[in-house]
């Protein structure tokens, strides 16, 4: 099965080279958040927003772990950027593929370090399937039975509290440091979730895409105007 995952990832790269999609290769020089990194494009730094996912926002549980995960596997690596579209700030929205065929978007979802961005990409069943797998296994942020997605977190008032769960692990005090999260050594080189998944759909036009809030660094939702400078 591992071989199938790798072959599917390599097939995607071959299609890209044959002109099936726009893209480029470059070195990752910076990871800003779990879902935003900078890649050299013709020796110029270009900010890449990972397609179809939303990592925990600043101050949310697992925000640091998501950033550490991407940093650990991608910083300094030469990657292939498979461009999906551009947001309203003209940033590239893309899948980012490591040299061995692993897709960073899939890795975040499978490890429970990001949400499928359902409000903006409701028809992407592949991302939905990957999120469901992590949720069922209670990986990462799904260890909490009711994690709050970033598009709700930003508008909520947060009060520290002790979470009681059925887990045998002791309950942490409100300000206790969380345990160090170790990403799963998954069987999938997460180049493809399974060998039956068809090609992902082309997302809708630019107005349906996330717009980045320039103050918070998080994507703004549909029909939301950018905050004033």
The separation between the first and the last C-alpha atoms of the chain, rounded to the nearest angstrom, is: 50
Residue 148 lies in a domain: yes
Mean pLDDT value across residues 204-218 = 38
Task: List the alpha helices (DSSP H) in 138-199.
Answer: 150-153
Q: How many domains does the chain have?
A: 1
- Give the pLDDT of residue 85: 84
7 versus 109: which is more confidently predicted?
A: 109
Percent of the chain clearing pLDDT 70 (strictly above)? 59
Residue 185 lies in a domain: yes
Residue 79 lies in a domain: yes
Dist. CA 66–CA 72, nearest whole Å: 10
CATH code of the domain in which 23 resides:
2.40.50.90
Residue 226 lies in a domain: no
pLDDT in tens, 70-116: 999 999 999 999 999 887 788 899 999 999 999 999 999 999 999 99
Residue 216 lies in a domain: yes
Residue 225 lies in a domain: no
Q: Where are the beta strands (DSSP E) in the chain?
A: 23-33, 36-41, 44-50, 53-54, 78-86, 92-97, 115-116, 211-212, 219-220
Residue 227 lies in a domain: no
Sign of the alpha-carbon torsion through 107, 219, 148, 182: positive
pLDDT in tens, 134-176: 999 999 999 998 999 998 987 765 544 444 333 344 333 333 3
What are the distances in angstroms from CA 188 to CA 1, 7, 78, 101, 185? 8, 12, 20, 11, 9
What is the rounded radius of gyration, in angstroms, for the C-alpha atoms of the chain?
A: 18
- Give the pLDDT of residue 58: 87
Dist. CA 109–CA 54, nearest whole Å: 9
**130 neighbors 106 (Cβ within 8 angstroms):** yes
Domain that holds residue 40: 2-220
Half-sphere exposure (Cβ direction) of 132: Cα atoms closer than 13 Å: 8
Residue 18 lies in a domain: yes
- Give the pLDDT of residue 25: 98
**75 neighbors 113 (Cβ within 8 angstroms):** no
């Amino acid at each position: 099965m591992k071989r199938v995952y790798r072959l599917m990832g390599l097939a995607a790269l071959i299609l890209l080279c044959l002109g099936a999609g726009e893209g480029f290769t470059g070195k990752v020089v910076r990871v800003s958040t779990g879902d935003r990194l900078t890649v050299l494009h013709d020796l110029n730094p270009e900010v890449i927003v990972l397609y179809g996912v939303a990592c925990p926002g600043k101050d949310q549980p697992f925000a640091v772990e998501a950033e550490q995960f991407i940093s650990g596997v991608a910083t300094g690596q030469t990657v292939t950027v498979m461009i999906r579209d551009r947001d309203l700030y003209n940033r590239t929205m893309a899948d980012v593929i490591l040299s061995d065929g692993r897709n960073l978007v899939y890795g975040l979802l499978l490890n429970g370090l990001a949400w499928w961005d359902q409000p903006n990409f409701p028809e992407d069943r592949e991302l939905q399937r990957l999120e469901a797998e992590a949720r069922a296994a209670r990986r990462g942020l799904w260890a909490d039975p009711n994690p709050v997605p970033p598009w709700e977190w930003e508008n909520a008032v947060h009060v520290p509290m002790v979470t009681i769960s059925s887990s045998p692990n002791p309950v942490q005090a409100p300000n206790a440091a969380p345990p160090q999260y170790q990403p799963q050594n998954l069987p999938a080189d997460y180049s493809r979730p399974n060998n039956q998944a068809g090609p992902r759909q082309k997302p809708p036009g630019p107005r349906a895409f996330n717009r980045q809030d320039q103050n918070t660094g998080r994507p703004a939702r549909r029909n939301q105007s950018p905050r004033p400078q």
